[in-house]
A = this chain, B = another copy of it.
Amino acid sequence: MIRLTSELEQGLRRLLDGGDPVVIAERVRRLPPDQIAELMAALHPADSADVLEELSAAEQRAVVDELDAEDAADLLSYLDVEDAAEVLASFSSAQQAEILGEMEPDDAADILAELPELQVEAALAGMDSADAGQVRSLLNYDEESAGGLMTRHAVTLRANASIGQALGLLRSLPLDEEIAYYLFVTDDAGSLVGVVSLRQLVTADLTTPLSQIMNSDVISVPVDADQEVAAQTLARYDLNVLPTVDAEGRLVGVITADDVIDVIQEEATEDIYRLAGLDIEEDVYRSIFLTARQRLIYLGVNLPTALLAAFVVSIFEPTLERLAVLAVFMPIIAGMGGNAGIQTLTLIVRSIALGEVGLRDAWRTLRREALVGLINGLVFGLLIGGIAILWEGQPLLGLVAAAAMLLNMICAAIAGTIVPLLLKRIGADPALASGVLVTTFTDITGYFCFLGLATLLLRQLTAV
């Protein structure tokens, strides 16, 4: 049992009840590192990691230094990869090797990938050679691929092995190893041919060969597939584990559902941030100057297009001089078009991400969105036309506003559909077609349609 001061105990309770890690960290900070370490060891590592992230780098190091290698490994596995790498880097190679040895190979590889190569080699040299081999092989895979997501801890047997042999193998493995609750069955060449659940193992006769009870419809992904493909495959078929195979169909590793959950959260955040023109690394704890600089870049991309929109307006300055009321209606046409464009863009980007829309659907999708734009353009065109007539008493102004609204809504639908599909076509991320670009596009078309039509009809408008 650990000795908790009453203050600490309260803090601990509040933390576990979803309390504020900042407050806990403040409280924790006043304790000596050995007491902090005790507290950390008593908490779930996910909760300890939250507290740790509120401490300074020096404090983090002092706390982790007090933990035994196993607790340190657990804690680092739940930290942000960058933070974990920073803490780990502050230890000696021998200590690093000890901590990494207690970690799951996939977590160890993720953290090592952040460190300089010399340091990685020194740490791996100090590890048990089998563990080091597993980590080393994982380091070869792209972080964003199925290989970067998997662990090597797959339990594999030949198809002619018996259930008794399988159970014997299981008993020989260390209990704290993260193993999937499935055994994988391979043929003599090492190709994946079946899967057996632990459930099946305990409910059949010990002498039965695995080939008799295995499920031979195994769904797998190539080890070099994109992590998003792996995540979608596991999600689509409601799997708990997804094996990865090499080009020859040999089992390489296993991806588990909890890894996929992280990928899905990450990819969703990426889509959301890209649509808004935010850097994917952004979070509310990032330094203000780094944040401002990154947002400046995205906003800066928009400036030339905003100037283009302004240039379109400037073409019609003589018209505006004669009829300033146009400046009143101009933002409505542009703004409504921008919002409609963002609706279409968001739907298309998300549908591509979820695998519901591909290039094959381009024509059908474009027709559908253009029709929706036509309907909404008619409705809002009539509305804005009516409002313009009632407000300003000029039927021709109403007509111009209505026609411009209709045209801009259709342009918005077309831009919102075509831009992400084109990006997909050239192999870029469709979410790069951020709302910023689409709204600037609809600004330009909105101003051009509205002011252009007004200029054509100027004589009639001013004559009223």
Contact = CB atoms under 8 A, between A and B. Distances in A.
Contact of A309 (B283, B317, B321, B335): B335
A447 interface: yes
Interface stretch (A60-68, A144-152, A348-356): A348-356
A336 B299 contact: yes
Contact of A327 (B199, B285, B327, B376): B327
Contact of A295 (B298, B302, B343): B343
Most buried by B among A336, A342, A356, A380: A342
Interface string A318-331: 10110011111111
Interface residues of A, number: 113
Interface stretch (A31-39, A93-101, A112-120, A200-208): A200-208
B235 A258 contact: yes
A284 B235 contact: no
Count the copies: 2
Contacts of A181: 181, 197-199, 240
A379 B296 contact: yes
A164 to B, nearest CB: 11
A340 B237 contact: no
A260 B235 CA distance: 10
A271 interface: yes
A161 interface: no
A358 B269 CA distance: 18
B277 A343 contact: yes
Contacts of A328: 310-311, 313-314, 317
Given A288-B375, A346-B273, A335 B302 contact: yes
Contact of A236 (B46, B276, B331): B46
Interface string A50-91: 000000000000000000000000000000000000000000
A435 B342 contact: yes
A261 B265 contact: no
Most buried by B among A201, A258, A311, A331: A331
Given A179-B199, A284-B361, A295-B376, 14 more contacts: A20-B360, A170-B203, A198-B202, A234-B261, A257-B257, A273-B350, A299-B339, A306-B336, A307-B332, A309-B332, A309-B335, A313-B327, A339-B436, A339-B439
Interface of A: 20, 22, 44, 46, 167, 170-171, 175, 179, 181, 197-203, 217, 219, 234-240, 256-258, 260-262, 264-265, 268-269, 271-273, 275-278, 282-285, 288-289, 291-292, 295-296, 298-299, 302-303, 306-307, 309-311, 313-314, 317-318, 320-321, 324-332, 334-336, 338-340, 342-343, 345-348, 350-351, 354, 356-358, 360-361, 365, 368, 371-372, 375-376, 379-380, 383, 387, 435-436, 439-440, 443, 447
25 contacts: A46-B236, A170-B203, A171-B203, A175-B200, A198-B198, A198-B199, A202-B202, A238-B258, A277-B342, A284-B356, A285-B356, A288-B368, A289-B375, A295-B343, A299-B343, A306-B336, A307-B387, A309-B331, A309-B335, A317-B324, A317-B325, A318-B324, A321-B324, A339-B436, A342-B435
